[in-house]
Chains A and B, each alone.
Chain A
């Protein structure tokens, strides 16, 4: 260890590993993982989110899951939660749609209307 600079670089690298334990995620992605969601491919959607987010090094995005949402025909369903914004719900998701949602919505803040099912005011 030469100096503080080097230590801080090491810290930045290490921080990614414990990011989940801090409580300040900007965006929360919630994937519906009920039985029908999983049958419709929610696992792949979830994995795709994680891959995309890691590739883009988005450290302030948290991916989590929830149970059945009650709209089985629209599964896999994904909710995007952001502070002080309505909750955006996308339906019929797949890995390639995930890519677009991450790029357009999570990175650039533009809702992808094509996949949108509803917006819920908090």
Chain B
């Protein structure tokens, strides 16, 4: 029997960590208590996107969006809204612009500029129910491809669509598929790269958690095109929920015959297996990933041969990212021309971005290619929190670079971003305001890539270490003339000589911060100044005698007894003793402790 209300509880990893499952349990209990269980259906869905509002609950048909719902709120929602029809306003979303209540989720500004293709089902269906996936047209693309189209005609639609790799490289998908298809071999493979390792990126995880069948359908269609009968999804072990839901979905698909022998009673058979990565960042590189699937150590090898000629087990292999496969069913159902209509000249369709950093609305957003960085950061992301200003966004994680406000009107596509020295990457977007030190940010990413370097090739193993050493020196106030130039030289050398994508892109965060924030590097080196007041060795603390109330709180907290003064006597910091730990700054209730840099 159909229900009167559908209550969608976001069960993406972010909302779950904010207790959404407990809220759901409480809601079920309350619904049971009031005898509403036959009228109201509660559904766990994948990520709805606005993670900073979590746990998020969406009520249909009213389209009421509740934010930050806690167990204590459940009774009120069920009694007032579900029973009496009065939405609980204090928990509803308010527009940050007008401060007015937003009554329908579709009117929430965060969603309005978005265009959901890949994420259409995420947050709208129960990822663990294949019936719900079928209800929104699931597996029809597979049926259509297998029973009404030849592999060539499917490939042609992909070509017309202009789909390019969403993992970041942007290689045309139809070419990858065609190369693999043209290889003669007794066995071929389809692999999905779900080894999403960039700090700040969670698009792939959200797609698998929220709509696992979409991935299965896309990969099976790829198998049909290239003539493969076996596929692997390589997921990192840090994504347990994604793995669990994907495995469940594969089981359901096998049971219904969407995977297995003679799918849709055609001659085509295809099987899928999940391989769990052990957490090495380099395994996101395709040849390292293939080694890892084979049970070998996850290190890259030189290309060619490309995986399309010699991939897993030495057989022709097509390898794409989660988001790329998630586009496939829509292309088959709507035709390639439909997607070719969306986006820019060179980049078609949409791209999912994960917004994080100093931005109001962190979360997941899908926008058409060609949307400007400004629209993404301000219209969807809501800009920086009050009193702050965004000075750069970092795109593409440790492989990408930063973009400054004067370039925010650049339309997002593969070419424009690369031109700016950033890259599409997998879609991680980290916003930074004046409290971020660009030298330190570059050092953070380099620390990451140094740690993740597999050590196989010298430029990456040794070169990155050298770059890190120079950055470390600069942030400690020991920078010298020539350091910036040395960083640039090393960076360019590593980019051209490293074996794989990890090393070839790892210098980008350094090179792009030097390009746009050279003055910050120079200040660190020449004036020993960190304008963001981040680099510990470059900052000092002083007590403003006018503001100090001589309460002794800071003196009590100081770990090295560097603060002189007593009750009634204004305090002072002995600079020779001070270790710049900042505990006085943190505890002072009067804001009398000042953090300074480059003043002497």
Contact = CB atoms under 8 A, between A and B. Distances in A.
B140 A3 contact: no
Given A1-B257, A67-B85, A54 B1 contact: yes
A44 B308 CA distance: 64
Contacts of B519: none
A46 B148 CA distance: 46
B325 interface: no
A79 to B, nearest CB: 11
A78 B24 CA distance: 30
A23 B562 CA distance: 66
B6 A20 contact: yes
Interface in A20-52: 20-21, 23, 25, 28, 30-35, 38, 46-47, 50
A34 B134 CA distance: 38
Contact of B132 (A8, A17, A46): A17
Interface in A40-82: 46-47, 50, 53-54, 62-67
A84 interface: no
A15 B258 CA distance: 19
A11 B61 contact: no
B143 A65 contact: no
B595 interface: no
B131 A7 contact: no
Nearest to B86: A67
A21 B3 CA distance: 11
Interface in B82-96: 83-86
A122 interface: no
Contact of B6 (A4, A15, A18): A18
B548 to A, nearest CB: 56
B140 A7 contact: yes
A3 B143 contact: yes
A118 interface: no
Given A7-B134, A10-B134, A20 B5 contact: yes
Contact of B85 (A10, A31, A54): A31
B85 A3 contact: no
Interface residues of B, number: 38
A23 to B, nearest CB: 7
A64 B62 contact: yes
Nearest to A57: B2
B86 A21 contact: no
A33 to B, nearest CB: 5
A4 B39 contact: no
Contacts of B556: none
Contacts of A63: 4
B139 interface: yes
A85 interface: no
Contacts of A64: 4, 61-62, 85
B18 interface: no
Contact of A50 (B39, B63, B83, B264): B39
B140 A17 contact: no
Q: Which of A15, A18, A32, A33 has the most CB of B within 10 A?
A: A18
B85 A7 contact: no
Given A4-B143, A18-B125, A33 B84 contact: yes
B106 interface: yes
A20 to B, nearest CB: 4
A53 to B, nearest CB: 8
Contacts of A66: 85-86
A16 interface: yes
Q: Which of A14, A25, A38, A46 has the most CB of B within 10 A?
A: A14
Interface residues on A, range: 35 or more
Contacts of A23: 63, 106
A53 B61 CA distance: 15
Contacts of B125: 18
B123 to A, nearest CB: 10
A1 B106 contact: no
Nearest to A5: B143
Contact of B131 (A17, A35, A38, A62): A17
Q: Which of B39, B135, B257 has the most CB of A within 10 A?
A: B135
A33 B5 CA distance: 15
Nearest to A16: B2
Given A1-B256, A47-B39, A17 B85 contact: no
A18 B136 contact: yes
Contact of B3 (A10, A20, A25): A20
B179 interface: no
B90 to A, nearest CB: 16
Interface string B137-157: 101100110011000000000
Nearest to B83: A33
Contacts of A53: 2
A38 B139 CA distance: 44
Interface in A77-100: none
B210 to A, nearest CB: 14
Contacts of B3: 20
Contacts of B139: 1, 7
B62 A15 contact: no
Contact of B264 (A3, A8, A31, A54): A3
Interface in B77-121: 83-86, 106
Interface in B1-22: 1-6, 8
B496 interface: no
B265 interface: yes
Interface of A: 1-4, 7-8, 10-11, 14-21, 23, 25, 28, 30-35, 38, 46-47, 50, 53-54, 62-67
7 A-B pairs with least C-beta separation: A65-B85, A14-B135, A1-B257, A4-B143, A20-B60, A14-B131, A33-B85
30 contacts: A1-B256, A1-B257, A2-B265, A3-B264, A4-B140, A4-B144, A4-B264, A7-B139, A7-B143, A11-B134, A11-B135, A11-B137, A14-B135, A15-B135, A17-B41, A17-B135, A18-B136, A19-B2, A20-B2, A20-B60, A21-B6, A21-B61, A28-B61, A31-B85, A33-B84, A35-B84, A38-B84, A54-B1, A64-B4, A67-B84
